[in-house]
Amino acid sequence: MSEAVSCRQLFKRYDGGKKSVEAVRGLDLHVSRGECFGLLGPNGAGKTTTVEILEGLLQPTSGEVEVLGLRWGEGRDHELRQKLGVTLQETKLREKLSVLETLRLFRSFYDDGIAPEAALALVSLEEKAAAWVLKLSGGQRQRLAVACALVGKPELLFLDEPTTGLDPQARRQLWDVVTDLKRQGNTILLTTHYMDEAEKLCDRVAIVDHGQVIAEGSPKDLISRMGGEHVIEFTLQPNGDSGVGPSVFEELEDVRKAVEESGSYLLTVSEPHRSIPALLELLRRENLVLGSLTTRHVNLEDVFVNLTGRHLRDE
Amino acid sequence: MSTSRDGTFAMNENAFVQLVLSHLRGYLREPEAIFWTYGFPLIMVLGLGVAFNTETETVTAFTVSEAAASMPVVKALGEDASFDVAVLPLEEALIGLRRNRTPLVLSIDESGDVEYFFDPTNPDGSAARRLVDDAMQRAAGRTDALGWTDRRTDAPGSRYVDFLVPGLIGMNIMGAGLWGIGFSTVDLRVKNLLKRMVATPMKRSHFLLSLVSSRIVFFIPEMTFLLIAAHLVFGVPIAGSYATILLIAFLGSLTFAGLGLLTASRARRIESISGLMNLVMIPMWLCSGIFFSSERFPAFLQPFIQALPLTQLIDALRAVILSGESLLSQTTPLMILGAWSIVSYALALKFFRWV
């Protein structure tokens, strides 16, 4: 079976005289059918530009793009659009249309699809069918946007920042919707700058920074590539001396990497039951006193920090 | 809602209907829009109709000294119901003239000689000067050499209010097309809905056509309503055939909807569309003969004024509504409107910013 999405050496430059911006710089991407693929990266990394090129809304400056085995601009755009479901980042649907009217409108654009009522059921919005979009909460609007993308029974679903700006409960409801869609075998390409979202929803993730993919794999793979699966995070009580460099801790048993970040030390380890006693021993020897100490699993945020030295949400 | 698989035509037709419905619903559910479409034009016709339908014989004139006020000719002027005379110091009277509170100031000396102060570029000033002079000369004993009779032409069909109503209908067609289409298009663009729609298999021509159609569906009842109101309240005659009036209004709506699409084809912000709309509409507001005949403008401006679509639309509406002229007699204005439509739609389609 062909790939759902493949793009090679994708470039996109927005010309604005002296202020030209190169949003995408040689991005490669391969999404298989049936998987949920995530583009994870900070704001401005080029994620939205990339998906809008894949959706046929923007022209790439250069590069090869193939979506469901077809290319944009070769006379089969209409056929291709029949097979795609799209939610854009921030679409404001007409406020004075009801939920069902909105879905009927979108359904009318597709030759084949599911009943508007069935699309509502997929996003658990049945009881709002008659309500005006105006009356919906942010989470409900976002679920309606997903329903509008599903009503044409897409072979490939694009979700651009599906949970940005939603409260935690609404995010979780949307995650449930996406998880259900995954379970039914849909191919989904989503973008997000939430690492927990990518970790929870995506079979594979491409970490995007400055218009390029800097790492790719399943969340588990990416995390294990860090060398350890746990992070020990601690602070020291001030003792009058100048601070201690993080490199001191890299000498310890089981510690793969040590960084200092705004007064905290982060140690990447694989076996905390061995590294923690070693750490405590070192601190005692050096007459240093702990301010706090916690441990947690490594997450995609740590992977991103490790790769770029920055946080996902710095910008 | 269709789930037909038997060819694209059924699907597309349905999409078009759904698009028109979505525009109509969005619009009908906006009470303010309803007011600006139906209420405001009606208020304007009623207001202007009342303002210009009162007889305007009274001319206010000022005399300037107590001594002059007691002279027989001035007394006769004061007793004439056509004039409204006040006695004031000259300075104060001239201020009144400058502020347009009176069209004419008289300064009369002891011997009865009169100085007239008025603005010759203001038609009321010249008229008042002639009327007051006539009245005073007659009161002083002048007899007219030729006999005369007044024939009043304020019968329905030739009054100012009759002239005004087709002008206001034309103005409304322009406003509905430009504001209606322009704003909703830019609004949809700002909300990213245009982009969302072109990400579906929707046909772009269907979208543009649906916008225009929904406007026209709205406009025809609006115009009918205005015309009937003017007919009932002021007795404005409807001399021509209804079908011809409707056809002209339809072509006018189509033209201005096209112009609205073109004006909105690139704009990304409500502020810029407002400015563009004014740029397009103000010349027509001023020159196309809504409130007074466009022929009053100097000859060198006429080719430009006659090329404006609103001039042609209003002229055709007046000819048909007031004089009952046939559709065939309006071929030239309709062709000029048609040319504007074709050019507007062609350019709008070419330059329209979807994403």
In this prediction the ipTM stands at: 0.85
Per-domain residue ranges of chain B: 8-52+156-351, 59-139
Question: Which residues of chain A carry a pLDDT beneath 70?
Answer: 1, 240-243, 313-315
Looking at residue B66, its pLDDT comes to 66
- Residues of B at the A interface, defined by Cβ within 8 angstroms: 1-3, 5, 8, 11, 14-15, 17-19, 21-22, 25-26, 29-30, 191-193, 195-202, 355
Q: How far apart are CA A226 and CA A35, in angstroms?
A: 24
Inter-chain CB proximity A88 and B195 less than 8 Å: yes
Which amino acid, one-letter code, is at B346?
A
B23-69 confidence digits (pLDDT tens): 999 888 888 877 877 788 788 878 877 777 665 545 566 655 666 66
- Confidence band of B92 (pLDDT split at 50, 70, 90): confident
Minimum mean pLDDT among A15-29, A144-158, B141-155, B258-272: which range?
B141-155
Looking at residue A315, its pLDDT comes to 43
Q: How far apart are CA B17 and CA B10, in angstroms?
A: 11
Q: What spatial distance separates the first Cα and last Cα of chain B, rounded to whole Å?
A: 27
Looking at residue B77, its pLDDT comes to 76
pLDDT at residue B258 tops 90? yes
Q: What are the phi and psi torsion angles at A312 (to 5°)?
A: -60, -35
Substitution target from A58, A72, A81, A108 for chain B, most B beta carbons within 10 A:
A108
Inter-chain CB proximity B201 and A106 less than 8 Å: no
Please say whether the dihedral angle defined by the alpha carbons of residues B121, B125, B126 and B129, taken in this order, is positive or negative.
negative
Q: How far apart are CA B63 and CA B93, in angstroms?
A: 8
User: Taking the mean position of all CA atoms in its chain, how far away is CA B74?
Assistant: 41
Looking at residue A119, its pLDDT comes to 93
Looking at residue B6, its pLDDT comes to 41
Which of A57, A84, A113 minimises the CB distance to B355?
Answer: A57
* Closest CA relative to residue A106, chosen from B1, B159, B211, B353: B1
Q: Which residue do the tokens 């090869």 mark? A: A64
CA-based angle A137:A143:A146, to the nearest 5? Answer: 145
Pseudo-torsion of CA B193, B198, B202, B204, nearest 10°? 100
A26 phi-psi bin (left φ>0, alpha ψ -120 to 50, beta other): left
Substitution target from B22, B23, B27, B191 for chain A, most A beta carbons within 10 A:
B22
Beta carbons of A222 and A255 less than 8 angstroms apart: no
Looking at residue B9, its pLDDT comes to 39
Query: Mean per-residue pLDDT for B224-238?
Result: 87
- Confidence band of B22 (pLDDT split at 50, 70, 90): very high
Q: Which residue do the tokens 């990400």 mark? A: B199
Looking at residue A313, its pLDDT comes to 66
* Closest CA relative to residue B325, chosen from B230, B224, B239: B239
A222-250 confidence digits (pLDDT tens): 988 877 789 999 998 887 666 678 888 88
Q: Is B289 helix (H, G, I), strand (E, B) or coil?
A: coil
- Interhelix angle B242-263/B182-190, rounded to 10 degrees, is 30
Q: Residue B333 class from Cβ within 10 Å (0-12 exposed, 13-18 middle, 19+ buried)?
A: buried
Looking at residue B179, its pLDDT comes to 87
Beta carbons of B88 and B62 less than 8 angstroms apart: yes
Q: What domains can you pick out in chain A, each with its CATH number?
A: 5-218 (3.40.50.300), 227-297 (3.30.70)
Q: Exposed e or buried b for every residue in A160-187, given b needs 16+ CB within 10 A? A: bbbbbebeeebbebbbebbeebbeeebb
B277-300 confidence digits (pLDDT tens): 999 999 999 999 988 888 889 999
Q: What spatial distance separates the first Cα and last Cα of chain A, rounded to whole Å?
A: 39
Distance from CA of B265 to the nearest CA of A (A): 17
Distance from CA of A114 to the nearest CA of B (A): 8
User: Taking the mean position of all CA atoms in its chain, how far away is CA A209?
Assistant: 12
Give Cα separations from A161 to A86, A137, A164, B84, B209 (angstroms).
11, 17, 6, 75, 32
Q: How far apart are CA B256 and CA B264, in angstroms?
A: 12
Which amino acid, one-letter code, is at B31?
P
Q: How far apart are CA A188 and CA A106, in angstroms?
A: 19
Q: Residue B121 class from Cβ within 10 Å (0-12 exposed, 13-18 middle, 19+ buried)?
A: exposed
Inter-chain CB proximity A86 and B196 less than 8 Å: yes
Looking at residue B64, its pLDDT comes to 56
- Confidence band of B3 (pLDDT split at 50, 70, 90): very low
Which of A55, A94, A112 minimises the CB distance to B5?
Answer: A112
Looking at residue A305, its pLDDT comes to 84
Looking at residue B62, its pLDDT comes to 61
Report how many Cβ contacts below 8 Å link chain A to chain B: 84
Query: Mean per-residue pLDDT for B81-87?
Result: 76
- Confidence band of B11 (pLDDT split at 50, 70, 90): very low
Residue % of chain B over a pLDDT of 70: 90
Q: What are the phi and psi torsion angles at B198 (to 5°)?
A: -75, -10
**Chain B residues touching residue A93 (CB < 8 angstroms):** 191, 193, 196
Q: How far apart are CA B19 and CA B111, in angstroms?
A: 80
Which own/partner contact pairs does A254-258 have at CB distance under 8 Å and 24+ positions apart?
A254/A228, A254/A278, A256/A226, A256/A227, A256/A228, A257/A226, A257/A227, A257/A228, A257/A306
* Closest CA relative to residue A198, chosen from A220, A181, A225: A220
Q: B36: which DSSP letter?
A: I
pLDDT at residue B1 tops 50? no
* Closest CA relative to residue A159, chosen from A130, A194, A109, A108: A194
Looking at residue B63, its pLDDT comes to 59
Q: How far apart are CA B1 and CA A101, in angstroms?
A: 10
- Which residues lie closer than 8 Å to B6 by C-beta, 6 or more apart? none
Q: Exposed e or buried b for every residue in B25-45, given b needs 16+ CB within 10 A? A: bbbebeeebeeebbeebbeeb
Second CATH level (architecture) for the domain B59-139? 3-Layer(aba) Sandwich (3.40)
Q: Which helix (H) or strand (E) holds B215?
A: helix B204-234
Distance from CA of A57 to the nearest CA of B (A): 7
Query: Mean per-residue pLDDT for B208-213?
Result: 91
- Report the range out of A85-89, B12-16, B156-160 with the highest average pLDDT: A85-89
Which amino acid, one-letter code, is at A60?
P
**Chain B residues touching residue A96 (CB < 8 angstroms):** 25-26, 29-30
